[in-house]
Amino acid sequence: MHQGARGELLSRLAEAVTSITVAHPARVAVDGPPATGKTTLADELAAVLRDRGRDVIRATIDDFLFPRARRYPRGEYSAEGCYFDTHDYEALNRVLLDPLGPGGDRRYRHAVYDHETDTVSSPPIATAAPDAVLVLDGVFLMRPELLDRWDLRVFVSTAPEKTVDRAVVRESRVSSQADIERRWRERYIPAQQLYFATARPTDHADFVVHNDDPRNPVWVTRES
């Protein structure tokens, strides 16, 4: 069980999901820059919803990447490449978000890409229950191609320097600190700045979660 502010946040998010009144599965976006803690929050929210008896589909934008050869035409450290060339939004809408949306047949795939093998993936088609909840985490989820697909929008934020520090800890087994810091400062952080300038994600979020201290998150809702 999560105590304190963390538990309260998860309870508020679960209540917000429960209050969604749509005639199809509820689609929840957990957006935010890399290393802000959005995957952890999405996992925890999914667990709370399952404890409350909901059928949860858990998915991530990382399973909708283009294969590596197609992701880096502008170079490995390009911020524009990160924003424009990385994810297959057309496939995400076609195989997951639209089937679960208004008029969809609820027959979906949760992935089109396998990052272990860097190959196209085609998992079996599943059928969602009418009252299922999709919880999908990832970067850039409130860009124009996706914005109207969500029934609840959560944005997870931390100070940019914190994300660099977390990334160094998280990825030091596979990359040098210099490479991690360069990737963050040249690619990921400027890509987020481009995203904010063009899509203004926090303007569209129902919840903005400030996650500098994950045990004591601070959040604001659109109403507040």
pLDDT in tens, 26-77: 999 999 998 899 999 999 999 999 999 999 999 999 999 999 999 999 999 9
Q: In terms of pTM, does the model score above 0.85?
A: yes
Tell me whether residue 91 is exposed, middle or buried, using C-beta atoms within 10 angstroms of its C-beta: 0 to 12, 13 to 18, 19 or more. middle
> How many Cβ atoms sit within 10 Å of the Cβ of residue 172?
11
Helix 189-199 and helix 160-171: axis angle, to 10°?
140
Tell me whether residue 20 is exposed, middle or buried, using C-beta atoms within 10 angstroms of its C-beta: 0 to 12, 13 to 18, 19 or more. middle
Query: Would you call 19 helix, strand, or coil by DSSP?
Result: coil
Pick out the chain residues at pLDDT < 50: none
Whole-angstrom distance, CA of residue 89 vs CA of residue 91: 5
